[in-house]
Structure 1
């Protein structure tokens, strides 16, 4: 079966045989995708013209209601999406839930939040600015929905959440969505779009999808489009430097590589709640999605006196987690999504081993449960230990996109800060400590290089939302090598899809233009 593309308000099949999507356990071909011969310029124009116009004619609360209907459609098809996740991504039930349920949760969160914007169609920012002594000439800042398309070029690891965490704020803002999912796992995103289109809960042109190669898509971007990319730093650089993007100053949002850290404080000793919470979270980050998360823990920073004990505790837990075919009862960790990803992960692991010793895993003869290693795309969960600290050549730069992490001992808080910052910009760091002096010094010292910092102590306990779990109400993104982008953060995300401008004129003019505007301060409420 070849997956169709939804463009110009209708389903269109690309030419040729297409590229096969495979089961990462058996290697069996599932479906194929192709964008060959499709008119992407006209598809973008249709989305802007038809979808954008219809969405902008709606109020914020009307668009919020549409998001609720989208979420209801997806909820009704949840079992189908879990099946596709199992077959195309090798997802365990927990993995599929992380992706599919996370997508539905995010949509519902934006549907609820959007109601506070009421019957407005644009945003009024701040008070009027007097520009003449007698008040007859003033300035007012506004934010209006951009008249282009929100173009999403997504990663393979979250075909459901990766689509809807971007689409929810874009649709709520009034911009049509044009998504190009990563090819290896495009089936789930395509099926979700198909179900939403069939349900008729969004205007024609509000939701488009092209599967397979992006081809000349970026050649046709315009000044009022937004391009949001999740993936490698190399691809991000090509997008940023694309001639059309540069010439038209197209707004770009990027989430790229990230060597995230978990940091134990000096008080997180064996037997303490903080130590146990850290061990549990490190193991969870190595197991969920087989470590294929942009937010997964890649480096574990621990005080030198407890670093070995921490590594041993993590290794002991990993040894109890069966790795193999997710269809088999008891399996806790599944495969990577493809043989190509397996090859890339093993190559990265080889580099890390030049800096570090293997504490657990890394067995070249590893045999997964109920799977042929010659056909399947497994990587054995691997924990390494690196004594080199800041002198390590690869540990701070190579992100192995799989179930791999490295423990690094540190001597004092200053060295912990230096090692965390050596990652060059990360999506998230988690801190396990109840020591106010340590936390108070560490967090401000690493904050400018991290999009999110999660602090866990005994009082928080298991109530935290997770190192790798992205909440729709909190910022997702990071500086430097993490891409420099920002997503989510509640209604703050709508700013990406609005254009700020100032109108200068008399009070009557500004009052007229403010009639359909709501206070932009609500975005940060």
Structure 2
């Protein structure tokens, strides 16, 4: 079901820049010659300014100077800045969410949810600012104290992707700031207004709290800017979100200069549906995870592994639900599926559908482009369902679009093997009412992913849990739990208060 009212380029551009202005962006200062296209209508929002790669050197230099001051500020005082940022985000939630919709095409409820994630991580980081705990150990030497302490790391480079243009920055920045680090952000080229608005709100929070404003830097530009940030010797940690292909380049380059990297890369996420599954709940979980954000989340569900006893009924119900999905202008109330980000995403989806057919797949729902007459320069698609005889090469590859592969299993061990038999390892889910199956799935013998869910879909992580995955997903962890340790360095301290000098392991070196 498609919705044909698509805003004009003039209306959309004016609305976007007005929303940015209300968030504190100096619109005149960010104007430029770089084309800036909205996926909502495929037309330009207006020209913006891009920075040259040389701007990275300047940004890192400013961040390094600010770091020397910021690292000495008590962590609870650093937390006060993040608290104020959360308050400002709440005040400007609607405008920032609107920018997310204008620039990357998210439906309003998901855009608002993304800004809420930013607010939530500020709450989390505020509490964390009083909980950067080390530990004390027992020394084998009398009159000695052995302990571990954690210290700020330095400048953190953040590279974010279009699909979460503001939330991923906030996950990194809120944690990095309370840890005493400074941040240089290279946002997605698709969402510069989102970046300038977010950074402007942080700058206001820093000013109001009397903190050095240079702890936060933004460099907007193309791949050359990202490469300069990755290679810069003054960047202690590079936190990069994107494709596995991107991660294969970033990881070795950062390692080559002995920097640290935190990689959040591709996903190829599956749901196992057991014979005992509540199919009403399962249906809702699958449809949101597979079709939400037009299939453009790293946690998007791309595979459903159904027990043969429920396969026919669930497939029929999925096909019927997909036929009712409202597709169109993401700002229209009731729309559930917005546009793909660009033509390349559409072409990749079409190519994947063709390969799936070559490898024995059968298209049972969707797959076609819609709204082409109303928005000839935008790319809206009907989310697709393809039944597959098994897990072929195309199924093992991530296609960043709403394309769901459905296959069957007979034995639970077989289902787990199918879940794990992909290069990626981000998110997974099991729908079951069998407690034993649930326990196996979350055990070492179950899913090999970083996120392992039972009776919920693969999307929709909360900020309290560490977010990330294994294998070609990169192994990084952001947001909650003890993810803060990635942004700090650990020191092992031995304090001798005995007045003597006994050596460890009983070594005698008397002179």
TM-score by length of 1: 0.83
In the alignment, structure 1 segments of 5+ residues that lack a partner are 4-9, 269-273, 457-463, 510-525
- The one of 188, 194, 216 aligned to 1:207: 216
1:459-486 deviations in Å (ceiling 9; x for gaps) = xxxxx6x531121111211110111111
Counterpart residue number, 1:432: 431
SS at match of 2:335: coil
Contact 2:136/2:146 (<8 A) preserved: no
Match of 1:77 among 52, 69, 92: 92
Cα RMSD after superposing both structures: 2.7
Give the counterpart of 2:314 among 284, 304, 310.
Answer: 310
Which whole-Å CA distance do the structure 2 matches of 1:66 and 1:359 have between them? 52
Equivalent position SS for 1:449: coil
- Give the Cα separation in 2 of the matches to 1:16 and 1:82: 21
**What SS class does the counterpart of residue 106 from structure 1 fall into?**
helix
Structure 1 residues 416 and 505: alpha-carbon distance in aligned structure 2, compared to 1, 3 A threshold: same
| Alignment match, 2:303 | 299
1:380 corresponding residue in structure 2: 382
How do 1:236-385 residues align onto structure 2 when only pairs under 5 Å count? 236-242=247-253, 245-268=254-277, 274-355=278-359, 356-363=361-368, 366-368=369-371, 371-372=374-375, 374-385=376-387
Q: Is the partner of 1:142 in helix, strand or coil?
A: strand
Distance 1:447 1:107, change over 3 A: farther
**Distance in 2 between the 1:145 and 1:251 partners?**
13
Deviation at 1:235, TM superposition (A): 1.1
The within-5 A match list for 1:143-292 is: 143-146=150-153, 148-199=154-205, 200-201=207-208, 202-213=211-222, 214=225, 215-222=227-234, 225-242=236-253, 245-268=254-277, 274-292=278-296
Give 3-state SS (helix, strand or coil) of 1:257's partner. Answer: coil
Q: Secondary structure at the match of 1:417?
A: helix
Answer whether contact 2:428 2:449 (CA < 8 A) is retained. Answer: yes
Q: 2:464 aligns with which of 473, 482, 486?
A: 473
Residues 55 and 15 of structure 1: is their aligned pair in 2 closer, same or farther, counting only changes over 3 Å? Answer: closer
Superposed CA offset, 1:387-437 (max 9, x none)? 22x4x2221x22121211111101101110110110234221111111123
Separation in 1, partners of 2:26, 2:374: 36
- The answer on 1:503 being equivalent to 2:508 is no
Distance 2:147 2:259 in 1: 25
Are 2:93 and 2:115, in contact at CA under 8 Å, matched by a contact in 1?
Answer: yes
Query: 1:84-111 CA deviation, whole Å, 9 max, x = no partner?
Result: 1222122221121222222222222222
Q: Does the aligned pair in 1 maintain the 2:420–2:447 contact within 8 Å?
A: no
CA–CA distance in structure 2, aligned partners of residues 412 and 170 of structure 1: 45
The CA distance in 2 between the partners of 1:348 and 1:59, in whole Å, is 52
